[in-house]
Amino acid sequence: MKTLAAAALLVLSFCATVSGDEDTETAVTAQPGDVALLPCYTAGNVTPSLTTWIKDGREIVRGGGDSTPSPSAGTQRLAVLQDGRLNITQVVRGDEGIYLCTILLPGNNIYHGRVQLQVTSGPENVSLSITTATPLSNGTLIVFRGSTVSFNCSASSYPSQHLTWGFSGASPPNDTLLTGLGPWLEYRIENVQPGAQGVYSCTAHNTVSNQTVKKSTELLVYYAPDRHPECMWTPAQDPSHIYFNCTWFGAYPTPTLRWGENHDQQQWHEGHLYATEETDRLSMILNRTLLSDGQTLTCIGQHLARVPGHENSCSFTLKPPFPEGEPIATAVERDSITLTCSENISVPPASTTWRKGLQQEVIIPGPKYILSEEGPVLTLTIVNVSKEDEGFYFCRSENPLNVTELEVYLTVKTSSTYTGVIIGVFIAALIVGSTIIIAKTVYNNRHRICLGGGFGQMEDTGDVLDLVESDDEQIFHDTVPRLPPLPNGNHTTLVQIHRIPSNEYEDSESVDTSAQQEDTVQTDEPEELVTF
């Protein structure tokens, strides 16, 4: 353009009156408050005799040459310099526009100039605000997963600006999430997720001056799992020690875990906080001296994303072991016997074992002993029980709190006792059967017995077949009448039957058996006699 102006000047020097080419436009950019100098005739070092500046078809100032610059009508800000330039002391918004100048050069040459003044400012006061975000001490902002985040970028630019939201995070950077014209630009994320974590930037671009200002901020998305921490225990090698583990996975950043007891109102009682660490897995080991019945151990998870005391803990109440079962058991020799013990009270779970004898030797499973465990129920089966198995058995339950035993006494009965019962029953049946036969035979042969008219004699004397039951001994006294002497000189016999009541087999049979056998021998005689 300057070249063009120079060319115009060249033409001008040859002509008497030359008009400046309207195309020779000069652009000037100024910020509000600046001093702006608008050139008119730039082709040479001349002093014009008169310069007139016109804006929007109105003369705004005139002056020049050797004459002192005349103050413009009502505006102190504008002055025409000696070389015809327009000096705008304090540019204000609204000064922008097309300025036309007319210069009267020496030799009555007239030159027309055209200047475009651009007034621009900014971008300034670029500000970036993220609502519902909390600043950390280092200025980084945090939001919590699931919340709605509103990003507002504002800036001032004159005359106009473009605002752009950009993002760079774990996902591929995106320089233009949103763009728009205006004093501010809002970008919203509903239900914010960890993927939205990263650096957010707002770029303000002045559309006229082409100036750009960029501001950015780091945003972290914090979260904690919805579930509470998990409390676990692991037995240590020494059974009087135990590991208490607490885990709380899935929180960002790493939570703080604390193990202690007697926690209330967010306060730990003096000396009852056992461990605290910034971790998602906290383990502590305690021994018997620190544990007691009914003690409650609590693990509390602490995280910015969770309101304190809001279901952030797990705990358990310690209980000593308590094995339960029948204290007495009876077995028959050569049979199997199963002893049962149930342990479901112990917290933490006890280690329960079967032991034998007052020395409490651990029972090792094998063909003799079968051990089984079904949930809280433990059983010990002793195979082919013998008299030596009689004695004490212990269901010994141990947890880190204490040791508790269930004592079981096993009685073993010999199988011969049972054989005796069977024999007794058999003999009793035999005797009852024999008696019936005798009675029947006697009755059937009464005519033979009464040979010699003895029977009639019997009736007369009142000697009858008399069954007497003794209340005390429960013995039948079968009084057989004294029969008249027979030619061979045999004598009659008294028959005694010891009746065994069915409910008394167990204790009396062995003693009675011999007596009955005696009786049986005796009965033979009269039987022979009667069948004679």
Ligand X SMILES: *[C@@H]1O[C@H](CO)[C@@H](O)[C@H](O)[C@H]1NC(C)=O
Taken as a whole, the chain contains a residue count of 532
CB-nearer residue toward ligand X: 293 or 504: 293
Of 31, 39, 179, 218, the residue at the interface with ligand X (CB under 6 A) is: 218
Of 22, 278, 293, 407, the residue at the interface with ligand X (CB under 6 A) is: 293
Of 51, 102, 154, 352, the residue at the interface with ligand X (CB under 6 A) is: 154
Helix (H, G, I), strand (E, B) or coil at 393: strand
Beta carbon of residue 525, minimum distance to ligand X (angstroms, whole number): 45
CB-nearer residue toward ligand X: 358 or 521: 358
Of 180, 184, 272, 319, the residue at the interface with ligand X (CB under 6 A) is: 184
Beta carbon of residue 15, minimum distance to ligand X (angstroms, whole number): 31
Q: Is 174 in the site for ligand X (CB under 6 A)?
A: yes
* Residue type (1 letter), 270: E
Q: Is 376 in the site for ligand X (CB under 6 A)?
A: yes
Of 3, 68, 108, 138, the residue at the interface with ligand X (CB under 6 A) is: 138
Q: Is 427 in the site for ligand X (CB under 6 A)?
A: no
Burial class (CB in 10 A: 0-12, 13-18, 19+), 129: middle
Q: Is 87 in the site for ligand X (CB under 6 A)?
A: yes
CB-nearer residue toward ligand X: 59 or 238: 238
Q: Is 345 in the site for ligand X (CB under 6 A)?
A: yes
Q: Is 373 in the site for ligand X (CB under 6 A)?
A: no
Contact region for ligand X (CB under 6 A) — 39-47, 67-75, 337-345, 493-501?
Answer: 337-345
Q: Is 486 in the site for ligand X (CB under 6 A)?
A: no
Q: Is 283 in the site for ligand X (CB under 6 A)?
A: yes
Helix (H, G, I), strand (E, B) or coil at 138: coil
Beta bridge partners of 475: 498
* Residue type (1 letter), 389: D
Structure token pair of residue 102: 């007319």
Question: What are the DSSP calls for 464-501, one per residue?
Answer: --EEEE-TTT-EEEEE---PPPPTT------EEEE---
CB-nearer residue toward ligand X: 111 or 158: 158
Q: Is 243 in the site for ligand X (CB under 6 A)?
A: yes
Q: Is 344 in the site for ligand X (CB under 6 A)?
A: yes
Phi and psi angles of residue 324, each rounded to the nearest 5 degrees, phi first:
-120, 150
Q: Is 67 in the site for ligand X (CB under 6 A)?
A: no
Strands laid side by side in the 184-189 sheet: 121-131, 149-158, 184-189
Beta carbon of residue 470, minimum distance to ligand X (angstroms, whole number): 44
CB-nearer residue toward ligand X: 162 or 498: 162
Q: Which helix (H) or strand (E) holds 197?
A: none
Q: Is 92 in the site for ligand X (CB under 6 A)?
A: no
Q: Is 156 in the site for ligand X (CB under 6 A)?
A: yes
Of 140, 147, 160, 315, the residue at the interface with ligand X (CB under 6 A) is: 140
Beta carbon of residue 186, minimum distance to ligand X (angstroms, whole number): 4
Q: Is 177 in the site for ligand X (CB under 6 A)?
A: yes
Q: State yes or no: cis peptide before 71, omega within 30 of 0.
A: no
- Bridge-based pairing of strands 134-135 and 184-189 is unpaired
Q: In this structure, how many other beta carbons lie within 10 angstroms of the beta carbon of residue 478?
A: 19
Q: Is 232 in the site for ligand X (CB under 6 A)?
A: yes
CB-nearer residue toward ligand X: 19 or 148: 148
CB-nearer residue toward ligand X: 170 or 430: 170
Site for ligand X in 109-128 (CB under 6 A): 124-125
Beta carbon of residue 404, minimum distance to ligand X (angstroms, whole number): 6
Of 29, 118, 152, 496, the residue at the interface with ligand X (CB under 6 A) is: 152
Taking the C-alpha atoms of residue 333 and residue 388, their distance in angstroms, rounded to an integer, is 10
Of 63, 320, 321, 348, the residue at the interface with ligand X (CB under 6 A) is: 320
Give just the sign of the alpha carbon dihedral 176, 180, 185, 191: negative
Structure token pair of residue 462: 């009142």
Q: Is 230 in the site for ligand X (CB under 6 A)?
A: no
Half-sphere exposure at residue 403, Cβ-oriented, CA atoms within 13 angstroms? 8
SS (H, E, C) 282-349: EEEEEEHHHCCCCCEEEEEEECCCCCCCCCCEEEEECECCCCECCCEEEEECCCCEEEEEECCCCECC
Q: Is 134 in the site for ligand X (CB under 6 A)?
A: no
Helix (H, G, I), strand (E, B) or coil at 449: helix
Taking the C-alpha atoms of residue 9 and residue 11, their distance in angstroms, rounded to an integer, is 5
First to last CA, the chain: 172
Q: Is 34 in the site for ligand X (CB under 6 A)?
A: no
* Triad 418, 421, 423: Cα angle to 5°: 115
Strands laid side by side in the 369-374 sheet: 337-342, 377-382, 369-374
Which spans of this chain sit near ligand X (rule: CB under 6 A)?
35, 37, 79, 81, 87, 89, 124-125, 136, 138, 140, 152, 154, 156, 172, 174, 176-177, 184, 186, 210, 218, 232, 234, 243, 245, 283, 287, 289-290, 293, 320, 334, 342, 344-345, 376-377, 384, 386, 401-402
